[in-house]
Amino acid sequence: MLAKDIREMSEADINARIAELERERFNLVLASGTRTLDDPLRLRVIRRDVARLKTILREKVIGVAEAREAESMSKEVKARRVTGRRGRRAATATNRKKTSKRA
């Protein structure tokens, strides 16, 4: 399912689709215990669809404007990501200089 298609659905339709997918997932999990599934990747697809549905349902509940506002605020607060061994060492050395009592 595409996110834009889900956003066009009502909250009741989303909840019904979640229940339907959870039922299908339950049946597949039971069937996988007794036999080999025809399409084992269907479990992954269902799990991701349920997550996508729940995310968009949550956006509808709290309001899309508030969700986007919170997302933009979290981008401002993010610190610079230090990657690699030398980057971590340099960042730690910089922090030691700032907190050292001798320097």
Domain with 52 in it? 3-99
Percent of all residues in the chain with a pLDDT value above 70, rounded to a whole number: 61
| Contact partners, residue 46, CB within 8 Å, separation at least 6 | 21, 24, 25, 28
C-beta of residue 94 within 8 angstroms of C-beta of residue 79: no
pLDDT tens-digit map of 61-97: 888 756 566 666 766 555 566 666 666 666 666 656 6
Would you state the structure tokens that stand for residue 12, as one six-digit string?
């009741």
**Cβ 26 vs Cβ 76: under 8 Å:** no
Could you tell me which of 17, 92, 91 has the C-alpha nearest to residue 52?
17
Q: How confident is the model at residue 101 (pLDDT cuts 50, 70, 90)?
A: low
- CA distances for 26 relative to 12, 34, 39, 45, 48, angstroms: 21, 13, 15, 13, 14
Q: How many independent structural domains does the chain possess?
A: 1
